[in-house]
């Protein structure tokens, strides 16, 4: 064990013992270095490790604080480390949940997108208007796959900012991350192939597997630390897996992130078993740059990682512009897009390219991250104060999802329908599993401010949860 | 080797030896069974194997015939009434042709789109800018599948103008017709299913069939009157066809249209064999309203016709907005889109909706039809005056394609590469067939004005054609 890990363990033990409690400030880096006789760098690494585990949080210019009191959820022990599914059959349910979220009067706890008022809609509309006016007569052909060169260069530069070297040639612009993820999976597999996913997983992965008639192996994913890599190794050793599809940062629905060491081990595992990795990293821009987080793509040595992302979660939803940095699969993926949807809407590509190259984008992202962080914290506190103690809220820093474990008597799918009737949406746990494993879990969107309306909605949930728990 | 394979080999050898020649009737199943002392089933399997290899063809109620000797026959008799293909493998070629067309300096005879200067780019840019400014905060959710209601209503009203009653509920907005055609085929079929297409066919159909691993039955399509409906009937009677994918108006690449009687018979055929029809009608708005043309969808009684179209050929390319009026498949298709690309770009939907509801759209269409008609006529005259008499130009009114038969010695694929070197693109015939059946045909885009540059480009083609014809 490295020195910084030993230190992290030691600090964690003391937090668990109550030496520092939820909300307490930790000693400064310098002070701890002095106390332990360690270098500043070692202490910083230890603090970052604790932060990535959600045990502590950094507050700009103030230092490190112990994360608010939270429960650690009891699974992954509550189900097998993996399961096998031939048919996920999830799509009808997703469809009905998404349809219900279209009603504007509904409190959108079930939404997968950040509060749209956090997006610079007017500013990007101006970029779009500008792009529309400046279109060359040959713009349709110019923006065929792999997509607009200016946009690909801009994305490549954003990779460079976090230390990744990704050539514009490797990037394919798509209709949102949904298309990039789907095209990637379609390229890598044929009917009946094995694919590794998380449990719980983004429902888009379950849908794609259903559509392409693949076999899913879902691996237990810890709500704090991410996929169980021992289980993954066991699966890779025993099944002819073609691809893994997962999220190592702000996992959907859990909200957790894998440690850097975990990411590196993950890459080495897929490499040694010669498996391709579809990395869904749609929340990447919600990362604070200075926290040094990287995607698994960072460790990619031989182009086997297809890194999929989009602007729908960080800049604007509904424009449908995403991309995949497809490594060695770049050209094949261009061809597949060409025969699936031909190309991504050209004015959209140009509008996004214009906006993300301006200073406005960084400024917006800084504000977005701050707002989301504050709102998630506030929502967490509100849920803790309002919901019964039998509800466990999985606290993670970053992103905008909270994953709740309800009393086992509560059927979350039933709860979903009851809540919709009362004007409140939520994402029932079974959306994220083909095996009905999360029927007393829900995912809540924590990107909205805690208005009176939100408080009422949480009261409604409280009431429904209590009623359902009693009934059985 | 199985008995039926031995028998097929034996029969094939005798065909090659000339025992039976092109067009000859083979002995009946019963007779061959008796000759060889084999079961009827074995003989039937052998005949079907030979048929799948294209060596013989089945004619309903008449028996089996030796396939015509392809090289010696001239168009449209130069190919079989149908052929069978397991793997079209066309995509790499399409990809390279489309990539080459991206170079702005190339004379775009190979392009599939009308001259972009015919499009009201500035006016629609203003619609887009307007739409961008007016987006509601919930626009992303509002425009999820089936897509923007205003746009669907506007499309429904355009159907009504030509006498079709198509509810907005039946319409799904897609990323261009490419997505609507692909989603439709994906919904209707599973790996290994039979699909009827035209010969020659839009390459997108060949690509989709390749991607979905389907079996294509391509039916002879007359360059003046469209698909051979007798051949279609024969195929439907003999194969478990799941879907037909075709164009009855301004067929791509031939430019021909089917008669109204033909369209009605086509519908009755698919109905009586319970087959779904994917109708590619992307040039529908190029029809003069007063000519009374209708799509096959007009005759649809039970929602089995999926009518696919787009604005890319009539209003603006590169915006990627199309639709499908999907009949009884509407809801299933929404679900499929939701899990493939999520939705079509919302500002694009709103921009198109704004524009097509204004008087500007009808005015633009009138002008577009007139210009295209005049330009096609002028291009036809120019080609006739400049190209050698050995080149046959298939003249059809409407649309903007001309289909040329070159001297049989000319390899159009080779010609394509030579022409690209000289700065002229064209669409070689083999783009439109999985079976290399059109290797001395080319499709030319006739939507450009006959400028000096175009004249020079035609001189270049003339020169290359003559040189290639001489060489052999």
Model pLDDT for residues A293-347, shown as the tens digit of each residue: 899 999 999 999 999 999 999 999 889 999 999 999 999 999 999 888 888 999 9
Interface size A-B, in CB pairs within 8 Å, comes to 196
* Residue among B204, B339, B342 minimizing CB distance to A91: B339
B374 has a pLDDT exceeding 80: yes
Subunit contact A320:B339, Cβ cutoff 8 A: no
pLDDT in tens, B375-405: 999 999 999 999 999 999 998 888 999 999 9
Would you list the DSSP string of B327-346?
GGGHHHHHHHHHTTTS---H
pLDDT: is B157 or A35 the higher one? B157
Band of pLDDT at residue B24, cut at 50, 70 and 90: confident
Reading phi first (left if > 0) and then psi (alpha if -120 to 50, else beta), residue B192 is in left
Chain B residues inside the 8 Å CB shell of A314? none
* Residue among B98, B339, B345 minimizing CB distance to A338: B98
* N-term to C-term CA, chain B: 41
* C-beta separation of B285 from B313 below 8 A: yes
Q: Which of B342, B348, B354 should be substituted to probe chain A, the one whose Cβ sees the most A Cβ atoms within 10 Å?
A: B342
Subunit contact A335:B129, Cβ cutoff 8 A: no
Band of pLDDT at residue B90, cut at 50, 70 and 90: low
Q: Which of B92, B109, B128 should be substituted to probe chain A, the one whose Cβ sees the most A Cβ atoms within 10 Å?
A: B128
* Residue among B113, B116, B339 minimizing CB distance to A207: B339
Phi and psi at residue B65, to the nearest 5°: -125, 150
Q: How far is B45 from chain A (nearest CA, A)?
A: 27
pLDDT in tens, B174-198: 999 999 999 999 999 999 999 999 9
* C-beta separation of B308 from B323 below 8 A: yes
Band of pLDDT at residue B84, cut at 50, 70 and 90: very low
DSSP one-letter code for A102: T
A107 vs A445: CA distance, rounded Å:
10
In the prediction, which pLDDT does B73 show? 24
B75 has a pLDDT exceeding 50: no
Phi and psi at residue A191, to the nearest 5°: -45, 130
For A89-117+365-471, CATH number out of 3.40.640.10, 3.90.1150.110, 3.90.1150.10, 3.40.1710.10 equals 3.90.1150.10
DSSP one-letter code for A417: H
Chain A residues inside the 8 Å CB shell of B344? 175, 320
* C-beta separation of A429 from A93 below 8 A: no
In the prediction, which pLDDT does B418 show? 93
User: What is the helix (H) or strand (E) element at residue A444, kind and residue range?
Assistant: strand A441-445
Subunit contact B121:A135, Cβ cutoff 8 A: yes
Subunit contact A318:B139, Cβ cutoff 8 A: yes
Q: How far is B324 from chain A (nearest CA, A)?
A: 14
CATH architecture for residues B119-360:
3-Layer(aba) Sandwich (3.40)
pLDDT in tens, B404-429: 999 999 999 999 999 999 999 999 99
A169 vs B193: CA distance, rounded Å:
36
B249 has a pLDDT exceeding 70: yes
Chain A residues inside the 8 Å CB shell of B169? none
In the prediction, which pLDDT does A37 show? 85
Q: How far is B28 from chain A (nearest CA, A)?
A: 39
Q: How far is B442 from chain A (nearest CA, A)?
A: 21
Q: Tell me yes or no: is domain A3-66 CATH 3.40.50.200.
A: no
Chain A residues inside the 8 Å CB shell of B343? 318, 320
A361 vs A359: CA distance, rounded Å:
5
In the prediction, which pLDDT does A243 show? 98
Residue A74 buriedness (CB in 10 A; 0-12 / 13-18 / 19+): exposed
Would you list the DSSP string of A186-212?
HHH--TT-EEEEEES--HHHHHHHHHT
Residue spans per domain, chain A: 3-66, 89-117+365-471, 119-360
pLDDT in tens, B306-343: 999 999 999 998 899 999 999 999 999 999 998 888 88
B460 vs B457: CA distance, rounded Å:
5
What SS3 state is found at B323?
strand
Please give the structure tokens belonging to residue B433.
């067939």
DSSP one-letter code for B406: P
CATH of region B3-67: 1.10.10.10
For range B17-30, the mean pLDDT: 77
In the prediction, which pLDDT does B68 show? 61
B160 has a pLDDT exceeding 70: yes
Q: Tell me yes or no: is domain B91-117+362-471 CATH 3.30.70.60.
A: no
pLDDT in tens, B427-446: 999 999 887 789 999 999 99
Q: Which positions ≥6 away from A112 have C-beta within 8 Å?
A: A252, A427, A445
Q: Which parts of chain A register pLDDT below 50?
A: 70-88
Phi and psi at residue A325, to the nearest 5°: -95, 100
Q: How far is B284 from chain A (nearest CA, A)?
A: 20
Q: Sign (positive/negative) of CA torsion A185, A186, A189, A192?
A: positive
In the prediction, which pLDDT does A76 show? 33
Global confidence as pTM: 0.80
Beta strands in A137-227 (DSSP E): 171-174, 194-199, 215-222, 226-227
């Amino acid at each position: 064990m490295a020195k910084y890990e030993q230190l992290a363990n030691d600090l964690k033990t003391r937090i668990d013992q109550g030496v520092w409690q939820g909300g307490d400030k930790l000693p400064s880096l310098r002070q701890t270095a002095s106390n332990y006789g360690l270098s500043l760098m070692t202490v910083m690494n230890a603090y970052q490790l604790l932060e990535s585990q959600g045990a502590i949080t950094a507050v700009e210019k103030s230092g490190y604080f112990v994360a608010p009191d939270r429960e650690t959820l009891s699974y992954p022990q509550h189900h097998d480390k993996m399961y096998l599914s031939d048919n996920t059959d999830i799509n009808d349910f997703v469809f009905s949940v998404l349809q219900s979220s279209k009603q504007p009067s509904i409190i959108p706890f079930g939404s997968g997108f950040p509060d749209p008022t956090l997006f610079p809609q007017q500013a990007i509309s101006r970029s779009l208007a500008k792009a529309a006016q400046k279109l060359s007569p040959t713009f349709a052909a110019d923006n065929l796959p792999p997509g607009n060169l200016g946009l690909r260069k801009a994305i490549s530069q954003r990779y460079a900012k976090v230390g990744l070297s990704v050539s514009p040639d490797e990037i394919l612009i798509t209709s949102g991350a949904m298309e990039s993820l789907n095209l990637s999976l379609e390229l890598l597999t044929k009917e009946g192939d094995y694919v590794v996913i998380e449990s719980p997983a983004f429902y888009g992965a379950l849908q794609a597997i259903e559509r392409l008639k693949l076999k899913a192996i879902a691996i237990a994913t810890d709500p704090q630390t991410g996929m169980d890599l021992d289980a993954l190794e066991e699966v890779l050793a025993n099944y002819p897996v073609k691809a893994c599809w997962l999220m190592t940062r702000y996992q959907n629905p859990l909200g957790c992130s894998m440690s850097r060491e975990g990411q590196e081990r993950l890459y080495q595992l897929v490499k040694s078993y010669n498996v391709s990795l579809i990395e869904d990293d749609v929340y990447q821009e919600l990362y604070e740059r200075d926290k040094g987080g990287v995607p698994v793509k960072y460790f990619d040595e031989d182009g086997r990682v297809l890194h999929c992302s989009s602007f729908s979660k960080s800049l604007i939803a509904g424009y449908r512009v995403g991309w995949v940095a497809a490594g060695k699969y770049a050209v094949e993926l261009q061809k597949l897009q060409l025969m699936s949807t031909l190309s991504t809407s050209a004015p959209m590509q140009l509008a996004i390219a214009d906006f993300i190259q301006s200073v406005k984008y960084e400024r917006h992202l800084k504000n977005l991250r701050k707002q989301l962080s504050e709102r998630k914290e506030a929502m967490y506190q509100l849920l803790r104060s309002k919901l019964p103690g039998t509800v466990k809220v999985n606290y993670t820093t970053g992103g905008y999802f909270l994953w709740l474990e309800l009393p086992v008597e509560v059927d979350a799918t039933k709860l979903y329908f009851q809540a919709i009737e009362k004007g409140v949406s939520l994402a029932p746990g079974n959306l994220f599993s083909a095996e009905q494993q999360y029927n007393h879990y829900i995912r809540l969107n924590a990107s909205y401010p805690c208005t009176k309306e939100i408080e009422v909605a949480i009261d409604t949930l409280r009431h429904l949860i209590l009623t359902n728990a009693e009934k059985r």
